[in-house]
Structure 1
Amino acid sequence: MTTESDPRFHRSAEAILAAARELLIGEGPAAVTHAQVAARAGVGRATVYRHWPRVDQLLAEAMATVPMPFFDAPTQPVRDWLHGELTAIARQLELHDVRAVTTTLANSALWDPGMDSRRGQFAGVLSERLAQALDDAVAAGEVRLRIAARSAAALAIGPIYYRSTIEHESVDSDFIDAAIDSLGTWRDRG
């Protein structure tokens, strides 16, 4: 019986992934280490390494199974809500492990169809949620977008991702305001 056809192989992989997901949700990305996952899953550290040789791969896999909170529940005014959501993303991308996972996911997607599928799902959820919120803001007269809502979503997220992952710089409130303002003309908040 080959390792991958052995039911124990699949059970240990499921236990490891469940443990990684629990640690990610409960304690954040920094808690997802081979040692902590092994202890939580009740398996040896070597077993974790056998399934996921690199912790960033395990973290990416765990992140793909966790419900994504970003852009999930828009509120009015959309501009203020969007500022809060982009700030939350920027703060997450300041964490080394999150930055490593997002760049690993993007890089791995070039060569691995499974990772590309996860990347596409992740990006699709973010884009659709944000595009819908922007469409709702247009309908409410809060903003007149310069481009289609889905493209505006990419324009809002892209600079924050670039600043955080490529430049390894912090994203401040003024930067987020500039990204939001680039989307279109917003109704005066005063």
Structure 2
Amino acid sequence: MSTDVKSSNLPVSRKLLGLQVAIFGWNAALAHAEELALSKSQPATIAFADKGKIAASLLGFGRRDLTKRLLLPSGGAFLRLLLKLVCRKQPIEAMFSPARFISSLLTYFAEPRRIGVICNDESRLKALCVHFSRHAPWHEFVAIAPDANLSGRLDLVIVYAADKAATRRIEQRLEGADIGLVIMAGRGLSMLARPNPASVRTQPAIPGPSFA
């Protein structure tokens, strides 16, 4: 773990309309994600909560899937106001975008990890792997087609899926695999999945990896 923050000693989430929403700041969020990635128990899943997901869950769309995930708030005035009303005693410390959080997590891992990247578009999958390999070259990135059979331990699996149907199919493929943490990025990596992906500024407070 790259900082003195130990996520096991921190409150993790609050219930928001029955959904588990993270309440911690950047360092604690990255520490907790690393802890989940290294766990040998059942895979954990992190996703990102925006106003669209919250509104859809209120109408019953995708609610069952969201209740099984730890949700990182991803901004927007509506979501900020809602969280402020619900979490008065312990306000939300940070907002997270998928691209920035994943990029920061990759550099937060102090040791090389085996990381799977899944996308149902071959060109986007290749672009993501190229970007992540340049961003954090000490890790092993494995490009995985949605219909591929997984083999070997994967500490982290990053899922870029364009729609709910694709997400559901990918989740079914991941069942029973040896995975520490799954991050469902939705369409949040679209900027990175281009042939020449835009750079993403990582969280400046997070120290880089050290192999000393």
TM-score (norm 2): 0.28
| Relative contact order higher in (CA < 8 Å, ≥ 6 apart) | 2
- Write 1 or 2 for the structure with the bigger share of helix: 1
- Write 1 or 2 for the structure with the bigger share of strand: 2
Structure index of larger Rg: 1
